[in-house]
Structures are given as structure tokens and as C-alpha cells.
Amino acid sequence: MIDNRLQAPPSSPYGATGQVCNWANAVELEDIPDHIRTDAKYVILDGIGCALVGAQLPWSRTATKAVLDMEGPGRCTLFGWNQRLNPLSAAILNSTFIQGFELDDVHADAPWHANSVILPALFAAAEHAGRGLSDPKVFNGEAFLLSAIVGFEIGSRVGNALYGAEMLIGKLASCGAVFGPAASAVAVSKLLDLSPEKTEDAIGTACTQACGLMSAHHESMAKRMQHGFAARNGLFAALMSKERYTGIDKVFERSYGGFLSTFGQGSDHEPAYLDNKLTDNLGEEWKGVGRIRIKPYASLIATHAPIDCIAALQEEFPEQFADPESICKVNVELSKPPFAHGGQMIERPQSAIGAQMSTRYTTAVQLHDRAVFMEQFKAENLNRESLWRIIHKVNCVWNPEFDKRGKWYTRVTVDFQDGKTVVKELPGPSTYERPLSNEDIFKKWRMLADSAIDAERRNRIESLVMNLEHLGDVSELIKLLETQVCNPIGED
């Protein structure tokens, strides 16, 4: 039960927005189960690894140069650059780095990328307040961890209130850019210890900035930055609220122009949104960290089940798949969400972002290279003749019957020149069905970190994150993220 007997309460303590604000203000780290705290640290470690890998990628450099040309120096760290910027610019670029290579986390029910929204906003908020000219503050690791868990939880619940993945096909909107601003605002409000009243203002200002188009996923660099908009906008909203700038009251539940009523428009469901999903068992059931999954492939989540099908067939029929040139046709049948998200036709020349968003490309590259990781998206590997001969054999179709079986249901059929046909069906991607263990996440972190930084720095970062609740000053961790990193794919 949430205790609503608080000073500076929200405008409607028992409404959805008010309950979120009161819970976020009242929750303490000891209220959170040990396994959620532990899992959250591994999620954060993966996010940091993705940021370090993404910081010096060609498209990250393009974004950084543009922002540096526009903005003067500040006091917030730009990961991997030996640069400091104002908090809003640092948040949007650091988020862009986490999303830089499609290696980051994804939520199993509400497909947003939590680290790329929450971590950049919190790091920037901590440095902005911690290095202020008046009344500088020190934020310990316990406060940072708690604020991250709160942000993960609220962003995921906002997504569930809008039927999660349905946003991808019903609204053609980028989930994280819609779900994320409120999550960022709540996380920063928690870190800054804002009252429920000010947290409500922050959520209201954040939600009126929610936006993001799915068309960014086809070829634009802006796709990498969409969650950065959410990180920045939520941070902006909380910092404004801290100074008593008021936002929209009761923004989640308002029937006219409210967040859920607006983004619920066009829904195929009745009701169009589920405001109870924001608050049901809040603080008892953990919908955030408990449902965040870490990607094993450097590609869109909608491409993962077809990759899994091919990998399983390659393992089951090694001789048949020894020569990819012997394949006549690959038919990938998908339920509607993954088909709408990744089933588009692609043409040459192809960019890294377009390839990572394409089921045709990722299916073909698994057949060709038996891997879908960073190497597969280097510029010199994107347009290989032998790979494109396979891509042209891959066909993606929507099978309406699969919608009844599950939103990620997939069947892959491979026909060979010798007349043999093999088939594999999966209810969803291994990313969801068989999520990486914490041990696997740690191995992934090591692989990512070793491609960008030296072993001494890597060891120090992982030690601080794994003992985050005992860290006296989070700036100690931030300092380790500041020094310039390598470009893991070696391109300018």
C-alpha cells in the first residue's frame, strides 16, 4: 500500500499520476528485493558497455561534432570523448551512444530501451547538481541505483498502459521516445529528491514532449537518437520542476489531451489504454528490471526470432548449411508486430542502421557469417556480393494466423537446390524466451569493454557498478567513463 500522507502532495493523490508520484517519492532501496537490485546492476553494466562501444562510431562522431559546434562547454561528461557539455546535450549524446550499435537492452512487454533513457539523464543530473556553483551535492551509488530502478519501473508501466508492442503497429510510433520522457523525469526527480508535487509537474512537462516516428528506423541516423530525445526531455522537465516551473497535472489520466488518451487514439483495443497498468501492485510486482532483456545480437529485436531459427537449423543440419550458395529460397513468416517493424524490402547500397533494422539482412548474414554482431555491420561488409545473393533469396511475409499464437511467433522455411526443405518455428526470440543470465551479461560486458578500453579501466568500472550501493560518490564512476575510447569497428 502506498502511503499518501506526504507533504507537497500531487494534485490528485489517488489518481494514476498521483500514485506514481507518491510511490516514487517514498520508495527506498531496502523496499526493493535483492534479486531486482542485483539484476539492475547487470542491466546498468550492459548499458555502460554499449555506451563505450557506441561513443566513437562514425554516426556518433557526426552527432557529437554537430552538437559541439552548437553548444559551448559545460560540466557534464560526454562518455568516451574527454569533453564536457551542458546537461541536456550530454544526455542526448550519451543516449545516442548507448543506442549506437543496437546492442542495448529491450523490454519484453513494452519494447523500449531503458538504459538509453535512464542512465544518461541520471548521470547528467548528478553532475549538473553535483558541480553546481551554489549548493553542490554528492550523489552516492545507492541513490543512483534506486533512481535507475524507479525509472526502469515507470517507463515499463507506461508502455504496458499503451499495450506495449501495439504502439509499433497501431501508432507507427517509436516506443521509447513515447514511453521514455515520463520515465526519465521520474528517475531524475527521485535522484534530486523532488516532492510528489514537483514530480507531477516534471511528468506533465515530460509527457507533452513525447514523440518519435517509426520511419526513423529505416535509414536515418536519427533512429540512434530517438531515445535520447526522451532522456533529454525528461531531464529538462525535472530540472525545470526543481525550480518550481509547473507542468500538466494528472497528465496520465486526463481524458482530454492527456498522455494516455492521446497516445491511445487509434487503438484496436477496448479500452484504448489501461491506466491501471501504471499502478497495479506498484512496489510489489517489478515490471521494469524484471522484464528487461539484454540483446545477444546487434540488431532490431524484431529480427531476433528469425536469426534464432536459422541458428537452430544450422546446428541441426550442419552439412546442409555448409554452403549457403546451395540455398534456393528462405521464407520468413512472422506475426504482425515483427513483420511491420523489420519485414521491409531493402536495396543496395545499405547503411548499417538500415541493415540492423532489416529481417532480410540479418537472416541472410546469419546464414552467411553465422553471426550477427558488430563485424557484420562494418561498412566493408554491408554490400558483399556473396551476402546479397542470399539476401535476394529471403522473403518476409505476415502470417495472420501467427497473431493468434503470439506477437513474436515466427516460422522459417529454407529450400535447398537438392530438393530438401527444413523448417523451424519459434514462439519468440531467445532474447525473450531464454534471456541472457547475469553471467552471460557479464561476458557480453567484457567483450564490449575489451573492444573500446583497457583492462584496468574495465575492471575498475565493473567493480564500481557491481558494488554500486556501496559507492560513496557516483562521480567516481562517471570519471572512468570520460576518457576517450576506441572505435570498435575502426571506421572514420
| pLDDT tens string 27-81 | 999 999 999 999 999 999 999 999 999 999 999 999 999 999 999 889 999 999 9
Chain centroid to Cα 187, Å, comes to 15
| Amino acid (one-letter) located at 129 | A
Percent residues over pLDDT 70 in the chain:
96
Return the pLDDT at 446: 97
Confidence of residue 4 (pLDDT cuts 50, 70, 90): very low
The x, y and z cell numbers of residue 421, run together, are 526443405
Return the pLDDT at 135: 72
**CA dihedral over 70, 67, 381, 308, signed as positive or negative:** negative
Alpha helices in 131-213 (DSSP H): 141-161, 166-170, 175-191, 196-207
Confidence of residue 388 (pLDDT cuts 50, 70, 90): very high
Separation between Cα atoms, residue 177 and residue 100, nearest integer Å: 15
Alpha helices in 370-474 (DSSP H): 385-391, 430-433, 438-450, 455-466
Return the pLDDT at 173: 63
Q: With left for phi above 0 and alpha for psi between -120 and 50, is residue 195 left, alpha or beta? A: beta
Separation between Cα atoms, residue 145 and residue 338, nearest integer Å: 33
148-163 pLDDT per residue, tens? 999 999 999 999 999 9
Average pLDDT over residues 285-312: 96
For the cut 70, the answer to whether the pLDDT of residue 459 exceeds it is: yes
Return the pLDDT at 82: 96
Average pLDDT over residues 219-243: 94
Query: Lowest mean pLDDT: which of 7-16, 193-202, 420-429?
Result: 7-16
For the cut 80, the answer to whether the pLDDT of residue 393 exceeds it is: yes
Backbone angles phi, psi at 327, to 5 degrees: -80, 135
What end-to-end distance do the CA atoms of the chain give, in Å? 54
Supply the mean pLDDT for the chain.
Answer: 94
β strands within 5-144, DSSP E? 76-78, 83-85, 105-107
Helix, coil or strand: residue 334:
strand
Return the pLDDT at 1: 39
For the cut 90, the answer to whether the pLDDT of residue 5 exceeds it is: no
Return the pLDDT at 267: 85
Cβ 394 vs Cβ 332: under 8 Å: yes
Quick one: DSSP state of residue 375? Answer: G
Return the pLDDT at 132: 64
Q: Which residues contact 99 (CB under 8 A, 6 or more apart)?
A: 50, 54, 113, 116, 223, 224, 225, 226, 227, 228
Separation between Cα atoms, residue 444 and residue 107, nearest integer Å: 18
Unique residue bearing C-alpha cell 567483450: 447
For the cut 90, the answer to whether the pLDDT of residue 129 exceeds it is: yes
Average pLDDT over residues 334-363: 92
CA distances, 330 to each of 197, 218, 323, 392 (Å): 56, 22, 14, 9
